[in-house]
Amino acid sequence: MKLSSDFRTRVLAGQWLTGTFINLGSPITTEIAGNAGYDWLLIDHEHGPGGQDTLVSQLQAAAATPAFAVVRIAWNETVTFKRVLDMGAQGVMVPFISSAEEAKKAVSAMRYPPRGVRGLAKMQRASGYGVDFEDHYLHGHEKLLLVAQIESPEAVSAADEIAAVDGVDVLFVGPTDLSYNMGIRDQLESTQFIEALTKVVSAAKKSGKAAGILVQSAAMVEKCRDLGFSFVALGSDGGSVANGLRQNAAALKAAKK
């Protein structure tokens, strides 16, 4: 598979790019979402049940659609980057980045020597099983997307320094974790939380990076856009399936009455 630098360029230009979370571990819902009109998909291997045995199938499903595939790994571990990137992830989201040093570690894991510490293997899916290896080795760092999650008060305080790290492309707010860690559980429209969001957006823009966030309701989309977020996800495949089934079940029960 040959990577294109177009999507990363669009992200850094601050274009409005929309996505959704894929947390069921299913290549089928990955493919459905990829054809639904989203610009990008977040294949969630932090909280979702997917693992090494499902990821290739999910990435193959995403590749059959227009959507850009980002994989959220469980933690900032170098060996995990190597695995998901070799399988063909076009981007990686890293949870709980709270300092510039942690961000630099993630960037290093994304890049081949001499720019980083990513291990080399020519015969893997990311390089077309060897066909595109030279391009992947020389230019992969220009095309792969690194999304750093901001999920703690420490991360908000260090947002300027994190955004300034070369190779960090998106500062992405995890709203649930951030609100809980701030001691204001789910108070996503409170003054204190909005101030934190504003600081993250400001830090991203100052360094020419994008600000991203996951929202759970359509009502929050425009608010986040107005705050300056441009890399925005709404809901998930799991949430869509659950909500759709509940609505259908409720309609059937209502007819019985």
b/e per residue, 133-169, with b = 16+ CB within 10 A? Answer: beebeeebbebbbbbbbbbbeebbebbeebbebebbb
DSSP string, 58-109: HHHHHHTSS-EEEEE-SSS-HHHHHHHHHHT-SEEEES---SHHHHHHHHHH
Please tell me which residue in 45, 47, 136, 139 is annotated as part of the active site: 47
H or E segment at 249? helix 237-256
* d(C-alpha 68, C-alpha 38), whole Å: 9
Is 141 among the residues known to form the active site? no
- Closest CA relative to residue 148, chosen from 96, 193, 186, 109: 96
* d(C-alpha 47, C-alpha 123), whole Å: 29
Confirm if 200 and 171 have CB atoms less than 8 A apart.
Answer: yes
Q: Which residues are known catalytic residues? A: 47
